[in-house]
Structure 1
Amino acid sequence: MFVKPHLLAACLMLAVPAALHAQTQTLEGISNVSRGAIEPVYAGNEVKGYVTYTKGDKADRKNDNYLLDFYDQDLNKVSNITLQKPAGKYSLLSNSFNGTAFAMYYYNSKDKTLELETYDTGLQKMGFKAIGDLNRMDMMVLQQSLTTQGGNNEGSSGMMAGLNLFAVPNFGFVRNSYEGMMKGFHLQMYDDKLNPRWRLSSDPKSKFYESISMTQATDKYILATILRRDGMMSKKVEAYMVAIESATGKKVLDMPVETSKTEQLSLNSFTFDPVKREFIAVGEFYKLDDKPFVNKSQGFYIKRFSEAGKPLAAKNYGWQKEVAAALPAEARASVEDGFVNYTQSIVRGSNGKTYIVAEQYKVVGDGMGIALSALGGRSSVSKGKIANMLVFALDPDYKLTDIKFYPKDPSVAVVPPGGGLMGAGLLGMYFRQSGQFDYQFTQKNDANSQFNVVYINYDKEKGEATKKIIGNVAFGDNGQFKIDKIDGTSNATSSFLYPAKPGYVMLVDYLKKEKRMGMKLVKLNI
């Protein structure tokens, strides 16, 4: 979320002066909360507040209370309202903020409609829109999301599927939907008052089946990845880099990352550098006769493209050459063991250096899945194993100068049926969208001179209960890499981690039996 500094200043004037140093908040009577119900509010790169949307106690026999609260960076409550909805009929799909408006995206099971509501930063209602006549595929995706995640839509059991509302700073919100049995997609842009701005759809004459995943909103573009198959049952899926002009909905870039027939690549990350005005693709490269994920990759690559889509530069970093020369000895075993790297974030420092944050994972056989499959079940015969964190440092000329390796205990990820055939990049995207990686977020200051990579390690010491350790890797223009670890273990029903003001993270614990949600700022030691 991004908020204009002058808007935020106006909102924060409403904060209660006596609570200037809150640092913690406890909400009672909260009957349900999900990760997506809490969103950080940004001014520039830094967190300046939060908006929370939680389900409270019943208003009466027929209605539920929903609480919309706005907090400053120190967790002082700035403003709040209570919304009433018919009891048991509404599920929150997402909660987002685009710098000028908050948007709530619901499913109304009574009327079988999707509903959108927007509010300004003073929590005054701006717009409402109900969307009915949902097609069969939209309903299938919706029910899948509600069943899998209990209504918060954070990841689904289908490949890249989901109904989402994507915030676009200064322009509005984009809603996605589906055509036929995943034959194509539709994107609808709304302004802050939910008036339609533009619509973009798959070409109905195309031979491909395609779905879209929006990943980033810049000052000018919406970035996305489109997955294309030449048939509904085709196992070959190709990833295309897509850039859409936010103001008009016009596609200005739609191309595969492979720009020649001599390349065999996976696409892990597609971003935009606002300083150099370049699109950047990162993934792994393979021999031409290899299959991504079945065979080991030869290394990773970085490709850069102009705003017009013209290739500017491409560089490969081979495991046995460039990477081996910089790879710490303790990291070599994981590469030999078949782990691949998924790019979680790419940041550029004010010193011109580029840092690639990656997390390792691989697919292994799942004994229970194999047994159920043999009995005719639909379970996956594979499971994912999430492992270590790495930070790759490149100089302004993209020469690899350093690799930092941060080991952590492996955690298990669920692979959907047929997921072992997705390929490394696509399976990594699935793990990312379904929230199964341990990486949480990357924080950076406004000067782009200091970065903090935050992740969770589920520490499993023999004979002891598993501990939830918050890991923080700090690095930047001073050339130093430091690691900090904080014990975040609790008896909470569920807990979530969020970015916070410089030097802090925010930890949220929810106790279902007590109907209590606690929010606290945790100071980083570096």
Structure 2
Amino acid sequence: MFVTNTDGQSRLTVDKVYSAYLQNSGTIIEQGQIKGYFYLYQSDKIDRRTNEYTLQIVDENLNKVQDIKFEDTKKLSLLESAYNGSSLAFLFKNEEEKMLQMKVYDLDGKLKFTYSRPYSKKTDGLMAQYETMHTDEGMNQSVFNLGDKGYITVLPLRDGRDQTYEVDMYSSDKKKQWTYIPDGDDQKFAMAEYLGTTDSLVILEVIRKNRRMSGSGTAHLVGINPMTKKKVFDIDDEKDKWTFVPSSVLPVAGTGKFIAMGNYFDKDANIAKDASKGLAIYEIDNSGKILNKTYNSWAVDIAKHLPMNTKGKIDNIGYLYIHKMIPTANGKLFIVGEGYKKQASAGGIALTALGAMAGGVQNQGVTKVVVTDLVVMEFDGTYKIRDAKVYDKTNNTVVGGPMSDYTSQHTLAMYIKMVGSFDYQFTTGNPDENNFVICYSDWVKSSDYKGETFNSIRYNGTKFTQDKIELKSKASRMKVLPAKAGSVMVIEYFKKDKKLEFRLEKLG
């Protein structure tokens, strides 16, 4: 389908764009190489009840490959999208029919399958979440790819006082769908977060409580086989010295095992409120057997390379959220993290004080949450930290008010991720050949330039170098995607002019 054209254009303009969520665009990758892009937008208004939508596919040089149009109710909302190497999936909310619809297209733009399910009171929380957090910067919250097997959704469900989840698989090869719902009394209050997949597993972090208000709950690493539809393992830390809360997983190619990384806590700690002891890395095989555990404490191990306190906070950076694990051919493991912290809010303090003086009791919130610097850590083959470096960037405020006063640092990290307020964007390159590029956005204000920048940290096997490009624009919204080596692809949406513009930009 895709033919490489080194002389192709590097800019594309699309007119008659009535509505577009840039989040629902993405890259098409074949054998590790960028081969094209996809995006879906509202291209026309047919009548007062019907809109026209267009699925556009372009190659790596922004030449149009496919242009697929379809008509549907104007009450159709595009929620999320995903790509699995051989097809594209789009999750829609159809308010007219009260349905969630998953549409799967092949890379020629042909609609292969439509899966539908009604949404009800059990999914009200999910619908409210989309309404309040559906932004161009947000991460996929519920839809993820399963390679050539298809796609899964991980949906929160609420039934009265019970809160649980379900996992739905949608095949992209033939029309087939199944649902996994956990059972048992200990599942009546369970929250699941998708961590990743291996060639035979969907891996979730699940926090469970026996009763809704029974403390902070227990953390579990759950593996589900998407083909047998059965749970393969459910790992907790009941017999361990520490409580392990996984936050990311990394399959180890060709070994039948994966790495799980996350924070570890004192055994009697409240994992929703208390500070962690450090970072743990577990090696686990696909049956759920733990092969190795490595712990790096904030106070001793990590403090040798970063200025830390015993509560896991880095000086001037705050707590660390882990974005990416990058294994390289030379046996090293690089971890990309980003800081976030609470700060006193002068405006919130003043408003709260004024309210108190006036006899009111409403709390306006006296803190705010800011995202801080990027941190890259290097671990050796035994998963012990060997080096770390902080990359300075401008702090940006994410949320303020009572939520930031009372919410735990772990819950705040999940919120920041969901609304897309972390500055980390993506990692490209070829770690198998000891080279990769970490990309993030920033906002600078200097005598030479004021505005957004897109930054890269490049590793060549021995050292890191940095580049950046300036992204000053009059666009309503903007998004940056990976591109062919040495470049990025910039998408700009001009709402007033009803157009999308795409361009390739050289890094450095």
Question: How would you bin the TM-score normalised by the shorter chain?
Answer: 0.7 to 0.9
Q: Is the 8 A contact 1:93 1:107 kept in 2?
A: yes
Counterpart AA for 2:103: E
1:293–1:472 CA distance, 2 compared to 1 (3 A): farther
Q: Pick from 53, 64, 67: which aligns with 2:54?
A: 67
Q: C-alpha displacement at 1:338, in angstroms?
A: 6.8
Q: Pick from 435, 442, 457: which aligns with 1:450?
A: 435
Q: C-alpha displacement at 1:52, in angstroms?
A: 0.7
Structure 2: how far apart are the matches of 1:378 and 1:20?
Answer: 60
Q: Deviations over 1:191-210 (max 9, x none)?
A: 12673343210214335401
Equivalence for 2:145: 167
Q: Is the 8 A contact 1:266 1:423 kept in 2?
A: no
Structure 2: how far apart are the matches of 1:384 and 1:100?
Answer: 40
Q: Pick from 202, 220, 224: which aligns with 1:240?
A: 220
Q: Deviations over 1:257-315 (max 9, x none)?
A: x4645324543323332244333222334455665686654432322222222222222
Counterpart AA for 2:478: S
Q: Is the 8 A contact 2:143 2:153 kept in 1?
A: yes
Residue 301 of structure 2 is aligned to residue 315 of structure 1: no
Alignment of 1:26-105 (within 5 A): 26-86=13-73, 88-105=74-91
Equivalence for 1:395: 380
Q: C-alpha displacement at 1:437, in angstroms?
A: 0.6
Counterpart AA for 1:109: E
Q: Deviations over 1:71-97 (max 9, x none)?
A: 1111111111111122x3110011222
Equivalence for 1:485: 468
Counterpart AA for 2:379: L
Q: C-alpha displacement at 1:413, in angstroms?
A: 1.6
Residue 374 of structure 2 is aligned to residue 363 of structure 1: no
Equivalence for 2:319: 340
- What SS is found at the alignment partner of 1:490? coil
1:304–1:259 CA distance, 2 compared to 1 (3 A): farther
Task: Give the fraction of aligned pairs with identical amino acids, expressed as a percent.
Answer: 25
Structure 2: how far apart are the matches of 1:347 and 1:224?
Answer: 20
1:417–1:98 CA distance, 2 compared to 1 (3 A): farther
Q: Is the 8 A contact 1:292 1:424 kept in 2?
A: no
Q: Is the 8 A contact 2:338 2:373 kept in 1?
A: yes
Alignment of 1:299-448 (within 5 A): 299-327=278-306, 335-337=314-316, 339-366=318-345, 371=351, 382-414=367-399, 423-445=408-430, 447-448=432-433
- What SS is found at the alignment partner of 1:502? coil
Q: Is the 8 A contact 1:296 1:338 kept in 2?
A: no
Equivalence for 2:194: 214
Q: Is the 8 A contact 2:205 2:247 kept in 1?
A: no
Q: C-alpha displacement at 1:59, in angstroms?
A: 3.2
Counterpart AA for 2:456: N
Q: C-alpha displacement at 1:320, in angstroms?
A: 4.1
Q: Is the 8 A contact 2:201 2:286 kept in 1?
A: no
1:21–1:458 CA distance, 2 compared to 1 (3 A): same
1:147–1:389 CA distance, 2 compared to 1 (3 A): closer
Q: Is the 8 A contact 2:492 2:501 kept in 1?
A: yes
Structure 1: how far apart are the matches of 2:398 and 2:330?
Answer: 37
Residue 157 of structure 2 is aligned to residue 183 of structure 1: no
Coordinate RMSD, CA, aligned: 3.1
Counterpart AA for 1:428: A
Counterpart AA for 1:509: E
- What SS is found at the alignment partner of 1:491? coil
Equivalence for 2:114: 128
What TM-score comes out, normalization by structure 1 length? 0.85
Q: C-alpha displacement at 1:46, in angstroms?
A: 2.8
1:173–1:380 CA distance, 2 compared to 1 (3 A): farther
Structure 2: how far apart are the matches of 1:231 and 1:476?
Answer: 51
What TM-score comes out, normalization by structure 2 length? 0.87
Q: Deviations over 1:45-66 (max 9, x none)?
A: 3322111101123234542121
Q: Deviations over 1:86-142 (max 9, x none)?
A: 2x311001122222222221111112211222221111121123322x221313421
- What SS is found at the alignment partner of 2:414? helix
Counterpart AA for 2:143: L
Q: Pick from 491, 499, 502: which aligns with 1:516?
A: 499
1:340–1:79 CA distance, 2 compared to 1 (3 A): same
Q: C-alpha displacement at 1:376, in angstroms?
A: 6.4
Q: C-alpha displacement at 1:244, in angstroms?
A: 1.8
Q: C-alpha displacement at 1:441, in angstroms?
A: 0.9
Structure 2: how far apart are the matches of 1:420 and 1:272?
Answer: 37
1:190–1:348 CA distance, 2 compared to 1 (3 A): same
Counterpart AA for 2:322: T
1:419–1:397 CA distance, 2 compared to 1 (3 A): same
Equivalence for 1:267: 246
Alignment of 1:140-155 (within 5 A): 140-149=125-134, 154=138
Structure 1: how far apart are the matches of 2:222 and 2:396?
Answer: 32
Aligned residue pair count: 497
1:476–1:393 CA distance, 2 compared to 1 (3 A): farther
Residue 229 of structure 2 is aligned to residue 249 of structure 1: yes
Structure 2: how far apart are the matches of 1:366 and 1:221?
Answer: 44
- What SS is found at the alignment partner of 1:505? strand
- What SS is found at the alignment partner of 1:12? coil
Q: C-alpha displacement at 1:249, in angstroms?
A: 2.4
Q: C-alpha displacement at 1:474, in angstroms?
A: 0.8
Q: Is the 8 A contact 1:378 1:417 kept in 2?
A: yes
Which ranges in structure 1 are unaligned for 5 or more consecutive residues?
1-10, 157-161
1:265–1:380 CA distance, 2 compared to 1 (3 A): farther
Structure 1: how far apart are the matches of 2:291 and 2:205?
Answer: 20
Equivalence for 1:225: 205
Residue 182 of structure 2 is aligned to residue 202 of structure 1: yes
- What SS is found at the alignment partner of 1:308? coil
Equivalence for 2:97: 111
Q: Is the 8 A contact 1:213 1:226 kept in 2?
A: yes
Q: Deviations over 1:446-487 (max 9, x none)?
A: 7442111111112244x898521111111142x111111211
Counterpart AA for 1:308: S
Equivalence for 2:258: 279
Q: Is the 8 A contact 1:179 1:186 kept in 2?
A: no
Equivalence for 1:4: none
Counterpart AA for 1:475: Y
